[in-house]
Structures are given as C-alpha cells and as structure tokens.
Amino acid sequence: MENKKIKKIIIFYPSYENGGATKILQNLVTFFTNKKIKINLISCNANYSNFKYDKKFLKITKPKVILSSFFFQRIIFSLSVLKVYLKEIISIDKNDTIILSMQSHLLSVIIGKICNKKIVIRNSEDPFGATKYADDKISALIVFLTKFISFNLANGIITNSSKSFKSIKFFLINKKKIKLIFNPYLKKNNKKYSKERKKNHILAVGRFTKQKNFPFLLNAFSHFSRKYDNYKLIIVGSGKDKKKLLNQTSILELKKKIIFFEWKKNLDKYFRNSKFFILPSLYEGSPNILIEALDKGIPCISSDCSGSNDILLNGKIGIIYKKDDKKHLIQSMIKMHNRYNHFRNNSIKYMASSNRFLIIPQAKKYLNFLSTFIL
C-alpha cells in the first residue's frame, strides 16, 4: 500500500538531454503529478513543454542562464544548478518530502546529507562495466570512486537491472537500501504487430562511441554477409566515431550493405522494415532500445551487457552472446536467421502480456520505495 504521507518530490536532473533516462524522467513526472504529488524538477535546461503534467503539481527550477564561451561553462552551469538545489532543499520538510537524484549524484547527496534531508539516487548503468571499458581509465576510476561514496551516503538506491543490482550491492555497507525496479518505459502493451513481410535488414541503434561497440558489429557482419549476402545492416545514430565507422565500412568493401542514418527520435520506419535487431554494447544499465524493439515485434540479439538478460529473459525470447566474442555473435546471427519465426513469435507473445516495463506498475514501485523514507 502506498504511503500517503509523501507530498512532494525534489528531482535533481541537472542536464536535460535526449535519451532513455530522460524518457524515464518524463514518465515518472507524469505519474507522480497524476497522483497529486508536487514535483520540483531542478534542471539547467528542462522546459514545461517537455512534460505531460497537472499544472498545479509541477515546478521547474532553473539557474539563471549564463552566457559564456569559456571552456569552463559546463562547470559554471553545474555550480549554478547546485546553488539552486541547495536553496530549494534547505526549507523542505523531510516528514513529507523526498529528494530523487537522477544525475550527478555526489554533490547532490553530500548537500542533502549536510542539510539532513532524505535522498534516493537512481543508478542507470553498470558501474563495473562503465569503468572497465572507459576510454579514459583515470577519469573512470575517479567517477567510480564518487559513485562508491554516493551509493553509501544516500538513503536509498534504485537501479534498473539485475547485473547493476549485484554490482552496486557488492560495495554497499548497508546492502538493504538498494531496490531493483525495471524502467517504467512503455505506456501499454502493444497488441498490434505489422504482418508485412520483413526486409532482410538487421537494425542497430546507438551513439557512435566505444561503449556501443559498433566496430565489432561491422566486423561480425562482414563475415555473416559472406554466406548471407542478401542482408543489409542498418545503423541509426550519431557521435564522434562516425568517420571511423565509415572508413571501416569502406575497408570492408561493404558500402552497399552497411547503411548509416542520422539519429531520429521516431524509429518506427526502421523497426517496420527490419527483420531483427542487434545490441553490441560493452556495457549498459538497462537498454531501453531493446524494450522498444521487442515492443515493435522485432526479435533481438544482444551482448551479455547489463540489462539484456532481464529484458530477453536469459535468452528465452531472444539471443544473448558473450560480449566481444565475434564467433559467438556470428553464430547468433545465423541462429536468428534459421529460427526467425520462433524468436519473433516468442517475443511478441511475451511483450503482449508482460507488465515488466509498463509505466504505471513500475512507477508505483518507485513511489512505494520513496515513501519508505518518509517519517
């Protein structure tokens, strides 16, 4: 049963950006305001137009815009939003108000503890994976240390995958304060799936960074396409490594078979045309793009990154391969080709009935967990 004492939630989300975490934020704000809970969202660049909400219950607090071309503008923004955050939480009543930090945890947690306020943080990635596969190991170790401190100082932690749950729990002093809650991502179960004959397109979506591991996927596809030459690999995304990926495609002599498209918010066209989806990531938190693909009736292959086993039910409704194992990925692509109808039917059947990633049941779990910290 929900604790009726919770009246207000301060949400700390300094940098409002496109991505899965922002969609989770939007869904939570809609749910909380519909429950008549006041939300004060502290952010540099969020706007009311980004949300569906009851006007009586949402307030967005932002620092004054600082126009600067200096290299340190990001630091200035961070300090500005923390100043606003401090001002907002000093006067809150911890008997009916909780802080939910969804970004930049360390300083928000320290300030919360100094002010004697209750704060819960949301973790969105596997901390061990993010450290192991980082480009800059020194920076990654510093971030890992800040997470260790944040997790142990916070009153509670919400994480979104079994693997992240185990990773965080490993270095918690109080191991009872962490809660696994799957992402409140889908509004409802999709019961209408396209019956059109799919093109022989393999779809991949993501930022062009080391984490997403696209060079590995290109190499695996080059081997797969030697035997199955009627397939094309469609990659939708953007990022700093795009030029490297285009050069690699040229070296592999696959310009006609590997096609790049710029990132778009609406991916329906690509899902509609694609036969199956591949997520080659080195690490994740809980990859929402897998949920989206399954929701569109697209069977999936994923690396064994954090969250993939939860979403694909340990391989029952998709295929999970050992990350960075090219031979295993190629075998998985061949298996998906040979048993396509089996995997598609299993994934459609599961997604049509599961509430695992629906907004209302998962957002209720957020509310219930947050309420446990209200006196």
Q: What is the pLDDT of residue 3?
A: 47
What is the b/e burial string over 205-232, where b = at least 16 CB atoms within 10 angstroms of the residue's CB?
bbbbebbbbbebbbebbbebbeeeeebb
**Residue 22 and residue 169 in one domain:** yes
- Do 205 and 180 share a domain, yes or no? no
Q: Tell me: pLDDT of 177 over 50.
A: yes
Looking up residue 36, the CATH number of its domain turns out to be: 3.40.50.2000
**Are the CB atoms for 296 and 268 separated by under 8 Å?**
yes
Establish if 193 belongs to a structural domain: no
Which residue range forms the structural domain that includes residue 339?
A: 201-353
Q: Is residue 215 part of a domain?
A: yes
Q: Which long-range contacts (CB under 8 A, 24 or more apart) does 352-355 make?
A: 352/189, 352/190, 352/191, 353/189, 354/189, 355/189
- Say if residue 17 is in the same domain as residue 37: yes
Q: What is the pLDDT of residue 65?
A: 63
Long-range contacts of 91-94 (CB under 8 A, 24+ apart): 92/8, 92/10, 92/117, 94/118, 94/374, 94/375
Residue 3 in any domain: the answer is no
253 in the same domain as 141: no
Residue range 262-270: mean pLDDT, rounded: 89
Average pLDDT score over residue span 178-205: 88
> What are 20-31's pLDDT values in tens digits?
889 999 999 999
- At residue 127, does pLDDT exceed 70? yes
Q: Check residue 72 and give its pLDDT.
A: 53
Q: Is residue 1 part of a domain?
A: no
For residue 137, pLDDT over 50 is answered with yes
Residue 292 confidence (pLDDT) above 90: yes
Report the range of poorest mean pLDDT among 59-68, 118-127, 310-319.
Answer: 59-68
- Pair 154, 174: CB distance under 8 Å: no
- The verdict on 173 and 299 lying in the same domain is no
Strands 300-303 and 319-321: parallel
Does 251 lie in the same domain as 182?
Answer: no
- When pLDDT is averaged across residues 311-334 and rounded to a whole number, the result is 96
Residue 146 pLDDT greater than 70, yes or no: yes
Does residue 170 form part of some domain?
yes
**Residue 304 resides in a domain:** yes
Whether residues 113 and 232 share a domain: the answer is: no
**Confidence (pLDDT) at 1:** 42
Tally the domains of the chain: 2
**195 found inside a domain:** no
Cα–Cα distance measured from residue 297 to residue 151, given in angstroms and rounded to the nearest whole number? 37
DSSP 324-346: T-HHHHHHHHHHHHHTHHHHHHH
- Determine, yes or no, domain membership for 75: yes
Q: What is the pLDDT of residues 202-235, one digit of tens each?
A: 999 999 999 999 999 999 999 999 999 999 999 9
Q: Are residues 41 and 162 in the same domain?
A: yes
Greatest mean pLDDT among 9-18, 69-78, 215-224, 342-351: 215-224
Q: Taking residues 336-352, report their average pLDDT.
A: 94
Q: Are residues 42 and 101 in the same domain?
A: yes
Same domain, 348 and 366: no
Handedness of CA 64, 65, 67, 73 (dihedral sign): positive
Residue 1 or residue 299, greater confidence:
299
Mark whether 14 and 116 lie in a shared domain: yes
pLDDT on residue 17: 78
Same-domain status, 153 and 284: no
Q: How confident is the model at residue 264 (pLDDT cuts 50, 70, 90)?
A: confident
- What mean pLDDT value characterizes the chain? 91
pLDDT for the residue numbered 2: 45
For residue 73, pLDDT over 60 is answered with: no
Residue 192 confidence (pLDDT)? 76
Look at the pTM and tell me if it is higher than 0.85: yes
Question: Residue 55 has what pLDDT?
Answer: 83
